[in-house]
Chains A and B, each alone.
Chain A
Amino acid sequence: MEKLSHFVVGDGTKCIGCKACEVACHASHSVNGITAGNIDTPVFPKLFVTRVEEVTVPVQCHHCEDAPCAQACLEKAIYFAGDKVLIDTDKCKACKDCLMACPFGAVELVSQFVNGEEVIQENLKKPRMYANKCDLCDTRKQGPICVEVCPKQALRLVDPHKEKKEKNRKAVATIVGMFKK
């Protein structure tokens, strides 16, 4: 069996909603420079810090094994690269099928910017858009930057297989504990 794909998950009990993860995500994908002055487009994070009542936590792509987004994409713009679900933005036609198909709302449609300028489709007089979502910092050697920068260590990269085994072990430990009593 192929390895299950990794994904980043947030802990709502730890997250304080600071958006440092969003800013870092944008910075690592779209900014050349270390300071805010180098940001020359709107911030387009690939994860979305979301508040529900008292709790905030980022929502992002789970890199689903059956990738409903990819199944829905008629342009075949969404594909598996190793164990990551990625989007070929050149192929994307911004039809929003992936947005509809994703159970987490992990996809956002954003405007394309080149050299700080929004790309406008001449015949439509409308910005050109594409689907955007977590790519697990595909080109970054050290892995997802959001995990690194969170000041509360509220994010972690999940290895589902390990996670499952760990839970199995915990379950056994609990059962053993029960018998020992």
Chain B
Amino acid sequence: MQYTVEIDQELCTGCHRCIDVCPVGAIGGPAGMAADINYDKCCFCGQCVQICSAYQEYKSETSAPRETKMKDRGLLASVREPLFAAHNMGHAQKVWEAINNPNVVTMVQCAPAVRVGLAEDFGVASGELVAGKMITALRKLGFDRVYDTNFTADLTIMEEGSELIKRIQENGVLPMFTSCCPAWVKYVEQEHFELHENLSTCKSPQQMAGALFKTYGAQVDKLEPKKIVSVSVMPCTAKKFEASRPEMNASGSQDVDLVLTTRELANLIKHAGIDFKSLKPSQPDSVLGTYTGAGHIFGVTGGVMEAALRTGYELITGNPLDDINILDVRHSQGVKRATLQVGDLAVKTVVVAGLENAAPIIDEIKNGTADFHFVEVMACPQGCISGGGQPKVLLETERKQVYASRMASMYKHDEELPLRKSHDNPEITKVYKDFLGKPLGHKSHELLHTHYCRRG
């Protein structure tokens, strides 16, 4: 297992603010002393990384100089920002090597929330959407194929929506839990393994993409899968852990080789001397790069739910929704319940924002009082836009506003996109037609679904 989040004992001042922010009580330590992470509990959400403000002072005497610490953290030598006590393990050095290695083919994907955070690290106001510039930057960095996690978010909806319908129609295990947040998945595996069958068997969009790049992508481009280095850019620190799970090798080797956080991508762009702000926008590669608004809103709390309902409604009733904006599931502050009439069926949903808020829902399921069908849980307070790998907000007093801007930008992009339902994505149709067959089919099962294991 990769310990993707760490606390530098030498830099930690023992303020224990991370203890307050950790959703699973994984951090401890005597008052005023350096804090420590209990990895049996930690789910690598990185909220501690976001809050910590203790940094290595200029020319301070630490056992290891800044250069050594940077190397140990996997940071590029050009990184200027301070080294904070709570930090995540970086993959930027390895990605830099891969994109400069002529013997490999690099494929990259970026999660929805990355494009509303990335520009902040280049001095732009919070929430600006930079999808096009991000694609151009990735090409300039030297990635051979630039695909998109948003595409597989749409694919996830096809699989997960079908799975939910199947469970409802065939008396399967309900409520079904979303499985795209790796911190939540790890939490279920270690704290409530008896509920693991409630988890959707769908892989997260990151892992679906990884599996497709090295199979379908390789096939289309006539590439040897072994030569592919698949990289993802995520707003999340737990995604590094997810990619390293032994089950995630549907292609015969690790499906996602390296995971960058949004912050690490910004570092990489600076390292290459690319003037991000002046880049001209461009489009990702087809087929694995086209997306709808539904795929995009995966990045906010309630997004997966809304995307699933947009498609599920149509699959069940055969009619489109009157209003595609399902406001009842948006902006969860903790736990948000909603009921949507889908044909004859009243689908009851719960959206949980912040892992610390999952407890009452889990209790209801365990004591048999749960009457809901579908539960979305995101470990981070506002979903992926507030993930542990996003640009780190310097002033705590601004955090709320920054997250609100990122969220508003997500919904705005959804509204602006010509297609807003996953099943309307023509390239999704194409992938099913040419390669996957049908949702929940044999090939999907092999590549896009997974199983869970008991931890602790």
Q: How far is the CA of A145 from the CA of B267 in the complex (A)?
A: 28
Q: How far is the CA of A31 from the CA of B125 in the complex (A)?
A: 13
Whether A36 lies near B15 (C-beta < 8 A) is no
Taking A18-B17, A39-B82 as contacts, is the C-beta distance between A34 and B53 under 8 angstroms?
A: no
Contact residues in B for A56 (Cβ distance below 8 Å): 13, 32
Q: Is A102 an interface residue (CB 8 A)?
A: no
Q: How far is the CA of A20 from the CA of B396 in the complex (A)?
A: 8
Contact residues in A for B347 (Cβ distance below 8 Å): none
Whether B394 lies near A24 (C-beta < 8 A) is yes
Q: Is A82 an interface residue (CB 8 A)?
A: no
Whether B53 lies near A17 (C-beta < 8 A) is no
The 0/1 profile, CB within 8 Å of B marked 1, for residues 31-67 of chain A is: 1111111111111100001010010100000000000
Tell which of B54, B122, B263, B391 touches A19, judged by Cβ atoms closer than 8 Å: B54
What number of B residues sit within 8 Å (CB to CB) of A?
Answer: 35
Q: How far is the CA of A76 from the CA of B81 in the complex (A)?
A: 34
Tell which of B123, B126, B392, B397 touches A36, judged by Cβ atoms closer than 8 Å: B392
Tell which of A17, A22, A27 touches B14, judged by Cβ atoms closer than 8 Å: A17
**In whole Å, how far is A49's beta carbon from the nearest beta carbon of chain B?**
8
Taking A32-B123, A35-B393 as contacts, is the C-beta distance between A18 and B81 under 8 angstroms?
A: no
**In whole Å, how far is B427's beta carbon from the nearest beta carbon of chain A?**
33
Contact residues in A for B36 (Cβ distance below 8 Å): none
Whether B263 lies near A149 (C-beta < 8 A) is no
Question: Which residue of chain B has the shortest Cβ distance to A54 in the bound complex?
Answer: B32
Q: Is B221 an interface residue (CB 8 A)?
A: no
Whether A38 lies near B55 (C-beta < 8 A) is no
Whether A35 lies near B15 (C-beta < 8 A) is no
Q: Is A23 an interface residue (CB 8 A)?
A: yes
For residues 35 through 82 of chain B, which have their beta carbon under 8 Å from a beta carbon of chain A?
53-55, 57-59, 80-82
Tell which of A23, A51, A54, A110 touches B53, judged by Cβ atoms closer than 8 Å: A23
Contact residues in A for B122 (Cβ distance below 8 Å): 33, 37-38
Question: Which residue of chain B has the shortest Cβ distance to A33 in the bound complex?
Answer: B123
Q: How far is the CA of A37 from the CA of B124 in the complex (A)?
A: 11
Contact residues in A for B267 (Cβ distance below 8 Å): 37
Contact residues in A for B126 (Cβ distance below 8 Å): 34
Q: Is A159 an interface residue (CB 8 A)?
A: no
Contact residues in B for A31 (Cβ distance below 8 Å): 394
Tell which of A16, A39, A116, A149 touches B396, judged by Cβ atoms closer than 8 Å: A149
Q: How far is the CA of A94 from the CA of B32 in the complex (A)?
A: 35
Question: Which residue of chain B has the shortest Cβ distance to A56 in the bound complex?
Answer: B13
**In whole Å, how far is A12's beta carbon from the nearest beta carbon of chain B?**
12
For residues 366 through 408 of chain B, which have their beta carbon under 8 Å from a beta carbon of chain A?
391-398, 402
Whether A43 lies near B82 (C-beta < 8 A) is yes
Whether A37 lies near B15 (C-beta < 8 A) is no
Contact residues in B for A88 (Cβ distance below 8 Å): none
Q: Is B120 an interface residue (CB 8 A)?
A: yes
Whether A42 lies near B82 (C-beta < 8 A) is yes
Whether A23 lies near B81 (C-beta < 8 A) is no
Q: Is A148 an interface residue (CB 8 A)?
A: yes
The 0/1 profile, CB within 8 Å of A marked 1, for residues 418-442 of chain B is: 0000000000000000000000000
**In whole Å, how far is A13's beta carbon from the nearest beta carbon of chain B?**
13
Q: Pull 28 A–B residue pairs with CB atoms less than 8 Å apart, ordered by A.
A: A16-B17, A17-B13, A19-B13, A19-B15, A19-B54, A19-B55, A20-B396, A23-B53, A31-B394, A32-B123, A33-B124, A34-B126, A34-B402, A35-B121, A37-B81, A37-B263, A37-B266, A37-B392, A38-B81, A39-B80, A42-B58, A42-B59, A43-B55, A43-B57, A49-B13, A110-B58, A116-B80, A151-B17
Starting from the known contacts A34-B394, A43-B57, 20 additional A-B residue pairs (CB-CB under 8 Å) come to A16-B15, A16-B16, A17-B15, A19-B13, A19-B54, A22-B53, A31-B394, A32-B123, A33-B123, A33-B124, A35-B121, A36-B121, A36-B394, A37-B81, A37-B267, A37-B391, A37-B392, A42-B57, A43-B58, A148-B397
